[in-house]
Structure 1
Protein backbone atom coordinates (compact mmCIF):
# COMPACT_ATOMS: atom_id res chain seq x y z
CA UNK A 1 0.00 0.00 0.00
CA UNK A 2 1.38 3.39 -0.93
CA UNK A 3 0.79 6.66 0.84
CA UNK A 4 0.11 9.59 -1.44
CA UNK A 5 -0.66 13.16 -0.64
CA UNK A 6 -1.22 16.20 -2.76
CA UNK A 7 -1.37 19.87 -1.99
CA UNK A 8 -4.79 21.44 -2.47
CA UNK A 9 -6.03 25.01 -2.39
CA UNK A 10 -8.37 26.43 0.22
CA UNK A 11 -10.95 26.73 -2.57
CA UNK A 12 -10.86 22.94 -3.08
CA UNK A 13 -11.35 22.16 0.60
CA UNK A 14 -15.16 21.96 0.55
CA UNK A 15 -15.29 19.53 -2.37
CA UNK A 16 -12.57 17.32 -0.88
CA UNK A 17 -14.40 17.22 2.47
CA UNK A 18 -17.66 16.24 0.77
CA UNK A 19 -16.03 13.25 -0.92
CA UNK A 20 -13.63 12.25 1.87
CA UNK A 21 -13.46 8.49 2.45
CA UNK A 22 -13.03 6.96 5.90
CA UNK A 23 -9.37 6.10 5.16
CA UNK A 24 -8.48 9.57 3.82
CA UNK A 25 -7.65 12.82 5.55
CA UNK A 26 -6.64 16.44 5.22
CA UNK A 27 -3.69 18.15 6.90
CA UNK A 28 -3.45 21.92 7.27
CA UNK A 29 -0.04 23.30 8.19
CA UNK A 30 -0.25 26.70 9.85
CA UNK A 31 2.67 28.61 11.37
CA UNK A 32 1.36 28.04 14.90
CA UNK A 33 -0.27 24.59 14.62
CA UNK A 34 -1.30 21.68 12.46
CA UNK A 35 -4.90 20.66 11.81
CA UNK A 36 -5.92 17.15 10.80
CA UNK A 37 -9.37 16.39 9.38
CA UNK A 38 -10.85 12.92 9.15
CA UNK A 39 -14.29 11.57 8.43
CA UNK A 40 -15.91 9.12 10.79
CA UNK A 41 -19.06 7.12 10.05
CA UNK A 42 -21.47 9.94 10.90
CA UNK A 43 -19.36 13.03 11.57
CA UNK A 44 -16.02 14.74 11.03
CA UNK A 45 -13.12 14.87 13.46
CA UNK A 46 -10.94 17.99 13.60
CA UNK A 47 -7.67 17.49 15.49
CA UNK A 48 -5.67 20.63 16.27
CA UNK A 49 -2.09 20.01 17.36
CA UNK A 50 -0.24 22.94 18.95
CA UNK A 51 3.21 22.37 20.48
CA UNK A 52 2.40 18.76 21.36
CA UNK A 53 -1.04 19.56 22.77
CA UNK A 54 -3.89 17.79 20.98
CA UNK A 55 -7.47 19.06 20.90
CA UNK A 56 -10.29 17.15 19.20
CA UNK A 57 -13.49 18.71 17.90
CA UNK A 58 -16.37 16.96 16.17
CA UNK A 59 -18.73 18.43 13.58
CA UNK A 60 -21.75 16.83 11.93
CA UNK A 61 -21.45 18.19 8.39
CA UNK A 62 -19.14 19.89 5.93
CA UNK A 63 -20.65 23.36 6.46
CA UNK A 64 -20.02 23.16 10.22
CA UNK A 65 -16.43 22.03 9.59
CA UNK A 66 -15.79 24.91 7.19
CA UNK A 67 -17.33 27.46 9.56
CA UNK A 68 -15.13 26.13 12.38
CA UNK A 69 -12.01 26.22 10.18
CA UNK A 70 -12.57 29.80 9.03
CA UNK A 71 -11.20 31.00 12.37
CA UNK A 72 -8.42 28.39 12.50
CA UNK A 73 -6.73 28.52 9.09
CA UNK A 74 -3.92 31.05 9.04
CA UNK A 75 -2.51 32.84 6.01
CA UNK A 76 -0.27 31.57 4.63
CA UNK A 77 -0.95 27.90 5.21
CA UNK A 78 -0.43 24.68 3.26
CA UNK A 79 -3.29 22.21 2.84
CA UNK A 80 -2.75 18.58 1.86
CA UNK A 81 -5.16 15.77 0.99
CA UNK A 82 -3.97 12.24 1.76
Structure 2
Protein backbone atom coordinates (compact mmCIF):
# COMPACT_ATOMS: atom_id res chain seq x y z
CA UNK A 1 0.00 0.00 0.00
CA UNK A 2 1.33 3.44 -0.90
CA UNK A 3 1.58 6.30 1.55
CA UNK A 4 -0.87 9.16 0.99
CA UNK A 5 0.16 11.89 3.44
CA UNK A 6 -2.04 14.53 1.79
CA UNK A 7 -5.17 12.39 1.64
CA UNK A 8 -7.33 13.13 4.71
CA UNK A 9 -9.40 10.01 4.04
CA UNK A 10 -6.41 7.67 3.91
CA UNK A 11 -7.15 4.56 5.94
CA UNK A 12 -10.91 5.14 6.08
CA UNK A 13 -13.29 2.83 4.28
CA UNK A 14 -16.31 4.18 2.45
CA UNK A 15 -18.45 2.26 4.93
CA UNK A 16 -16.89 4.13 7.87
CA UNK A 17 -17.36 7.46 6.09
CA UNK A 18 -21.07 6.80 5.43
CA UNK A 19 -21.63 5.38 8.92
CA UNK A 20 -20.05 8.39 10.66
CA UNK A 21 -22.03 10.84 8.51
CA UNK A 22 -25.26 8.92 9.18
CA UNK A 23 -24.58 8.95 12.93
CA UNK A 24 -23.99 12.72 12.81
CA UNK A 25 -26.79 13.82 10.45
CA UNK A 26 -29.23 10.92 10.02
CA UNK A 27 -30.69 10.08 6.61
CA UNK A 28 -32.79 13.26 6.43
CA UNK A 29 -29.80 15.42 7.25
CA UNK A 30 -27.64 13.67 4.68
CA UNK A 31 -30.31 14.08 2.00
CA UNK A 32 -30.67 17.76 2.93
CA UNK A 33 -26.93 18.28 2.47
CA UNK A 34 -26.45 16.04 -0.58
CA UNK A 35 -29.48 15.40 -2.79
CA UNK A 36 -28.82 11.74 -3.52
CA UNK A 37 -31.83 9.42 -3.66
CA UNK A 38 -30.01 6.65 -1.79
CA UNK A 39 -30.28 8.90 1.30
CA UNK A 40 -34.00 9.54 0.78
CA UNK A 41 -35.63 6.49 -0.81
CA UNK A 42 -35.54 3.56 1.66
CA UNK A 43 -32.03 4.44 2.88
CA UNK A 44 -29.60 2.00 4.45
CA UNK A 45 -25.84 1.77 4.79
CA UNK A 46 -25.76 -1.21 2.43
CA UNK A 47 -27.81 0.40 -0.35
CA UNK A 48 -25.91 3.68 -0.02
CA UNK A 49 -22.56 1.89 -0.33
CA UNK A 50 -23.75 0.00 -3.40
CA UNK A 51 -24.76 3.25 -5.11
CA UNK A 52 -21.71 5.25 -4.01
CA UNK A 53 -19.25 2.57 -5.15
CA UNK A 54 -20.50 2.82 -8.73
CA UNK A 55 -21.23 6.58 -8.85
CA UNK A 56 -18.03 8.60 -8.52
CA UNK A 57 -19.61 12.09 -8.48
CA UNK A 58 -21.84 11.09 -5.56
CA UNK A 59 -18.95 9.47 -3.70
CA UNK A 60 -16.90 12.65 -4.18
CA UNK A 61 -19.69 14.72 -2.58
CA UNK A 62 -19.98 12.33 0.37
CA UNK A 63 -16.23 12.34 0.93
CA UNK A 64 -16.14 16.15 0.74
CA UNK A 65 -18.93 16.41 3.33
CA UNK A 66 -16.99 14.04 5.61
CA UNK A 67 -13.87 16.18 5.31
CA UNK A 68 -15.83 19.38 6.02
CA UNK A 69 -17.61 17.78 8.98
CA UNK A 70 -14.89 15.85 10.76
CA UNK A 71 -11.47 16.94 9.50
CA UNK A 72 -11.44 20.71 8.94
Shared fold, TM over 0.5:
no
Normalized per residue, the structure richer in strand is: 1
TM-score by length of 1: 0.40
TM-score by length of 2: 0.44
Normalized per residue, the structure richer in helix is: 2
Structure ranking higher on relative contact order (CA contacts 8 Å, 6+ apart): 1
